[in-house]
Amino acid sequence: MRKSARLIFIVSCLVFILSCATTTKIKVKVLKPAEIDIGNIKKIAVIDFGFEGEWHFWKGGKGVGKLLVNAVGKKLGLVKEKPVLLPPDPLTAYPGEKVTEKFIAKLEENGTFTVLKREQILRILRKQNFSITDEISDSQAVYIGNLLGVDAVIIGSGGYSVKDYSRSKKYTKKENDSEIKYKEYKLIRVVNVQMSYKLVGIPSGAIVVSRNNTVSNCSNNKKIFDTCEDYSEDSKEDRAFKNLTEWRLIVDRLVDSVLTITVNEIAPHYVMELRTIKSGKTTTMKAGMDYAKRGFWEDAKKSWEYILTDNSEEGKSDHMAALYNLGIYYEIKGDLGKADSLFDKCFKLFGRSECLDCKLRIQKRKEELKKLSEQNNR
């Protein structure tokens, strides 16, 4: 009896799952407020960042660049016959000027601030015989900000580390009735990028923001061989090394990532979020989903509104999904009051907790919009 009851329960669950409306996730673009309130700052200058690298390449490294053999070896007093593996220059291999230019470009793309071009900053500073060589102090930042006529100056520094790890495994494979032994090498290139910055208010000299952000190409540094996205595998270790992603490309990608984090901290920004759309059983509901997938939201809305007028047995079975989808429609279109009302009705009629989850998201969005309004009206 127990087995029969268990079987009936499992079958009932499967029937329930299969009877539920299928869903799909749709990406929507949502404007978020700045994470940090920086007040009435409109015009910004970014001063060149110091950016230093550190490398620990695999011992057989050929991709770093055996910069030169005999002639350089003799000149440096090194072994004559063997190649000389010279590491990149820590300060120029991926220069801070490049980070600064990327930072300025991201701020311009965001569009919140008026951002001085790097060439413009350097030209003004040269006229004043001011040379930026070392890390800029807070007081120097105020002096520079006054020269440039900006509301705030961003100063900072950062660095990156590149380290290769190797792991091998042996295995056998049956070929032509015999077992052949193989060895496979896996090389991982782990890169971390760190950036510290301060946003200094002008003319007060107040530190409006002071943050340190770090990103990595490995999601778990304790399990790098399972989580690192930059790796190479081969039966020969030197070939595996040769096929590793070039370190500058990884650093470039991570610098973009850490700068995006930084810009999002101080400026309103768009993010892509997922919204669930339900299909239902009727052809009209399925058509509504197809419209929504392709961005034809008005056609999708008409499909869902029609379903709510369909009182056939099949139509009634899709009322919950249609009501839910209409709530999503009004949420995406920015009519949060209407969306909230539809999700509330959805919960009261059908008792589905996902409708309450949507109501909570709507409340959070209302708070975000209030914060955005305050930031934009300063």
Share of the chain above pLDDT 70, in %: 86
- Domain membership flag for residue 24: no
Q: What angle do CA 84, 88, 92 make, to 5 degrees?
A: 145
Give pLDDT, residue 378: 72
Average pLDDT over residues 84-105: 87
Q: According to the model, what pLDDT value does residue 184 have?
A: 87
User: Which of 225, 247, 269 is the endpoint of a domain?
Assistant: 269
Question: Do 54 and 123 fall within a single domain?
Answer: yes
pLDDT, one tens digit per residue, over 16-71 is 443 445 889 999 999 999 999 999 999 999 999 999 999 998 875 444 434 333 44
Cβ 370 vs Cβ 32: under 8 Å: no
CA nearest neighbour of 218 among 190, 248, 244, 258: 190
Instruction: Provide the mean pLDDT of the chain.
Output: 86
Q: Looking at the structure, tell me whether residues 117 and 263 fall in a common domain.
A: yes
Task: Report the CATH number that the domain containing residue 96 is assigned in CATH.
Answer: 3.40.50.10610
141-186 pLDDT per residue, tens? 999 999 999 999 999 999 999 999 988 887 777 777 777 777 888 9
Question: Where does the chain show beta strands of DSSP type E?
Answer: 23-32, 43-46, 50-56, 114-115, 152-175, 178-201, 207-216, 231-234, 269-278
Q: Say how far residue 272 (Cα) sits from the centre of its chain.
A: 10
Name the residue with higher pLDDT: 189 or 136.
189
Q: Is residue 339, in this structure, part of any structural domain at all?
A: yes
Q: Is residue 76 part of a domain?
A: no
For 259-268, what is each residue's pLDDT tens digit?
Answer: 999 999 999 9
Residue 179 burial (CB count, 10 A): 8
Q: Is residue 147 part of a domain?
A: yes
| Statement to judge: residues 110 and 192 lie in one domain | yes
Kindly state the DSSP code that residue 21 receives in the 8-state scheme: P
How far, in Å, CA of 57 to CA of 241, rounded? 9
Looking at the structure, do residues 228 and 295 belong to the same domain, yes or no? no
Say if residue 73's pLDDT is above 90.
no
Q: Residue 32 has which token pair?
A: 């978020």
In a domain, 71, yes or no: no
Distance CA 267, CA 155 (A): 17
pLDDT for position 77? 47
The pLDDT of residue 250 is 96
How many angstroms from the chain centroid is the CA of residue 126? 37
**Claim to verify: residue 257 and residue 151 sit in the same structural domain:** yes
Can you tell me the mean pLDDT for 368-377?
Answer: 90
Distances from the Cα of 175 to the Cα of 129, 178, 180, 224, angstroms:
75, 5, 7, 33
pLDDT at 29: 93
Confidence of residue 300 (pLDDT cuts 50, 70, 90): very high
Tell whether 22 is covered by a domain: no
pLDDT at residue number 202: 96
Summarised one tens digit per residue, pLDDT across range 218-235 is 987 677 888 888 989 888
What integer is the mean pLDDT of 277-302? 94
Number of folded domains in the chain? Answer: 2
Rg of the chain over all Cα atoms, to the nearest angstrom: 29
> How does 80-102 read in b/e, with b if 16+ C-beta sit within 10 Å?
eeebbeeebeeeebbbbeebbbb
Which of 162-166, 178-182, 278-282, 364-368 bottoms out in mean pLDDT, i.e. has the lowest? 178-182
Same domain, 103 and 212: yes
pLDDT over 70 (residue 74): no
Residue 260: per-residue pLDDT: 97
What's the pLDDT at 148?
95
* Structure tokens that stand for 287 in this block: 């058509």
Q: What would the mean pLDDT of 241-257 be, rounded to a whole number?
A: 94
* Same-domain check for residues 114 and 248: yes
Q: Are 42 and 339 in contact (CB under 8 A)?
A: no
Average pLDDT (126-139) is 82
Q: Are residues 164 and 239 in the same domain?
A: yes
Is residue 210 assigned to a domain? yes
Are 294 and 252 in a shared domain?
no
Cβ partners under 8 Å of residue 120, min gap 6? none
Q: For residue 218, is it within any domain?
A: yes
Indicate the pTM of the whole model.
0.80
Question: How far, CA to CA in Å, does 93 sit from each of 54, 55, 84?
Answer: 10, 11, 18
The pLDDT value given to residue 168 = 85
Query: pLDDT of 321-342, one tens digit each?
Result: 999 999 999 999 999 999 999 9
Residues 139 and 251 in one domain: yes
Q: Which of 213, 241, 269 is the last residue of a domain?
A: 269
One domain for residues 162 and 264: yes
| pLDDT value of position 3 | 53
Residue 330, token pair as written in the block: 């009004």
**CATH number of the domain bearing residue 286:** 1.25.40.10
Q: Domain of 147? A: 43-59+90-269
Q: How confident is the model at residue 6 (pLDDT cuts 50, 70, 90)?
A: low
**306 and 169 share a domain?**
no
- Cis previous bond, 33, omega within 30: no
Cα torsion 17, 18, 19, 25 to 10°: value is 80
End-to-end CA distance of the chain: 71
Residue ending a domain, among 269, 304, 319, is 269
Range 130-138 contact pairs with CB under 8 angstroms and sequence separation of 24 or more: 132/47, 132/48, 134/50, 135/50, 136/47, 138/198, 138/200, 138/205, 138/207
